[in-house]
């Protein structure tokens, strides 16, 4: 059982927030890779160590006021990220999806009520549960082009997954690229929705136990720099026998045909 004092000393502040720290006193030996994960839920703190597989929990007894503040903050965040009202795709939305070889009839895509120039991309966790949506504004000068909405505050910042339970994973920057990889190859995929990998996504990747991971972010300077950082983080955190590579191309996955995706990813029976 993980020491309650250690959990409280490293407790995150907000409900849904998760941190990872070194497990001091880990029975499996010295932990230098921050394998102890501590998460705050609405019922208290939970912890799990990926080094010794021990778990633990704790509750804050110091202040009822703190507990009340956290619950109010979560409710406010959930309301802030309430998803938009979905509607059938517009002609503009259908054309945009077809441009990137996506199926407009797929359940992943919807229109947005009273906004014909918007497309809603449904976000999923590894179990394929909808956790929110990302809305793409198709107007060329719109800033920002994407607005991300989560159905619950605890999912704030989460990536979106496709076919998570495969042996090999492709990490992409944007949603359509991850969708295309999952649709047209035998790989799992995850859209970071940014150029960095969050701690929660890192933990999910670890728990799913992939044999190999390909990082294929956008070919601009931010994507190239981000891919190298993501590779370093995954290599440091995942088991030593996990193959982690960066694919450097002048195309995003969503811009490739199905045959190009298979060729670039060297797909042979899922490898």
Of the candidates 41, 59, 80, which is a domain's last residue?
80
Beta strand residue intervals within 67-211, DSSP E: 86-87, 109-112, 115-124, 130-137, 146-150, 160-162, 168-172, 188-191
More confident residue, 83 or 231: 231
* Contact assessment for residue 53 and residue 207, using Cβ atoms and an 8 Å cutoff: no
Structural domain for 10, as ranges: 4-80
The CATH number linked to 180 is: 3.40.1360.10
Question: What are the tens digits of pLDDT across the range 171-216?
Answer: 999 999 999 999 999 999 999 999 999 888 998 999 999 999 999 9
Q: Which pTM value belongs to this model?
A: 0.70
Task: Check whether residue 117 and residue 44 sit in a common domain.
Answer: no
Residue 100 pLDDT class (50, 70, 90 cuts): very high
CA geometry: angle at 34 spanning 44 and 61, to 5°? 20
What is the percent of the chain with per-residue pLDDT over 70, rounded to a whole number?
A: 89
The least confident of 132-146, 163-177, 213-227 is 132-146
Task: Check whether residue 168 and residue 261 sit in a common domain.
Answer: yes
What does the alpha-carbon distance between residue 37 and residue 50 come to, in Å, rounded to a whole number?
8
Task: Check whether residue 207 and residue 166 sit in a common domain.
Answer: yes
Task: Check whether residue 13 and residue 49 sit in a common domain.
Answer: yes
- pLDDT of 266 > 80? The answer is yes
Task: Check whether residue 92 and residue 180 sit in a common domain.
Answer: no
The least confident of 68-77, 128-137, 138-147 is 68-77
CA 177, 180, 184, 188 torsion-angle sign: positive
* Contact assessment for residue 244 and residue 238, using Cβ atoms and an 8 Å cutoff: yes
Task: Check whether residue 189 and residue 148 sit in a common domain.
Answer: no
Domains in the chain, number:
3
More confident residue, 57 or 173: 173
Task: Check whether residue 40 and residue 121 sit in a common domain.
Answer: no
CA 254, 259, 264, 267 torsion-angle sign: positive
Of the candidates 158, 183, 204, which is a domain's last residue?
158
* Contact assessment for residue 94 and residue 250, using Cβ atoms and an 8 Å cutoff: no
Average of pLDDT values for 103-110?
96
Average of pLDDT values for 130-148?
88
Task: Check whether residue 224 and residue 130 sit in a common domain.
Answer: no
Task: Check whether residue 253 and residue 177 sit in a common domain.
Answer: yes
Neighbours of 58 (CB within 10 A): 18
* Contact assessment for residue 86 and residue 120, using Cβ atoms and an 8 Å cutoff: yes
Task: Check whether residue 70 and residue 10 sit in a common domain.
Answer: yes
Q: What is the pLDDT of residue 82?
A: 55
Average of pLDDT values for 77-102?
82
- pLDDT of 78 > 50? The answer is no
Residue 242 pLDDT class (50, 70, 90 cuts): very high
Task: Check whether residue 188 and residue 230 sit in a common domain.
Answer: yes
**Spatial CA neighbour of 131 closest among 199, 190, 47:** 190
- pLDDT of 70 > 60? The answer is no
Task: Check whether residue 51 and residue 129 sit in a common domain.
Answer: no
Q: What is the pLDDT of residue 13?
A: 79
Q: What is the pLDDT of residue 84?
A: 83
User: Token match 């804050």: residue?
Assistant: 60
Cis, bond preceding 39 (omega within 30 deg of 0): no
Q: What are phi and psi of 86, to 5 degrees?
A: -85, 155
The least confident of 51-65, 147-161, 174-188 is 51-65
Neighbours of 43 (CB within 10 A): 9
Burial class (CB in 10 A: 0-12, 13-18, 19+), 242: middle
Q: Using H for helix, E for strand and C for coil, what is the string for 62-88?
A: CCHHHHHHHHHHHHHHHHHCCCCCEEC
């Amino acid at each position: 059982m993980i020491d309650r004092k250690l959990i409280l000393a490293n407790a995150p502040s907000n409900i849904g927030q998760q941190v990872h720290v070194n497990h001091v006193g880990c029975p499996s030996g010295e932990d230098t890779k921050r394998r102890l994960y501590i998460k705050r839920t609405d019922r208290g703190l939970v912890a799990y160590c990926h080094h010794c597989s021990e778990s633990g929990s704790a509750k804050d007894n110091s202040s009822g006021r703190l507990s009340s503040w956290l619950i109010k903050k979560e409710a406010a965040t959930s309301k802030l990220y309430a998803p938009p009202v979905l509607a059938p795709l517009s002609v503009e939305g259908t054309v945009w999806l077809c441009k990137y070889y996506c199926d407009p009839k797929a359940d992943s895509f919807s229109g947005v009520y009273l906004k014909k120039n918007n497309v809603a991309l449904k976000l999923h966790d590894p179990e394929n549960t909808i956790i929110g949506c990302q809305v793409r504004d198709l107007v060329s000068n719109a800033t920002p082009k994407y607005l991300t909405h989560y159905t619950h505050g605890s999912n704030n910042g989460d990536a979106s997954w496709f076919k998570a339970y495969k042996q090999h994973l492709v990490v992409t920057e944007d949603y359509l690229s991850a969708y295309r990889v999952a649709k047209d190859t035998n790989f799992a995929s995850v859209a970071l929705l940014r150029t960095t990998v969050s701690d929660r996504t890192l933990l999910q990747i670890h728990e799913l136990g992939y044999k190999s991971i390909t990082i294929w972010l956008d070919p601009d300077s931010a994507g190239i720099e981000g891919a190298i950082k993501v590779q370093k983080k995954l290599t440091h955190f995942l088991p030593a026998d996990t193959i982690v590579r960066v694919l450097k191309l002048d195309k995003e996955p969503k811009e490739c045909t199905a045959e190009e995706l298979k060729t670039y990813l060297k797909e042979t029976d899922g490898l």
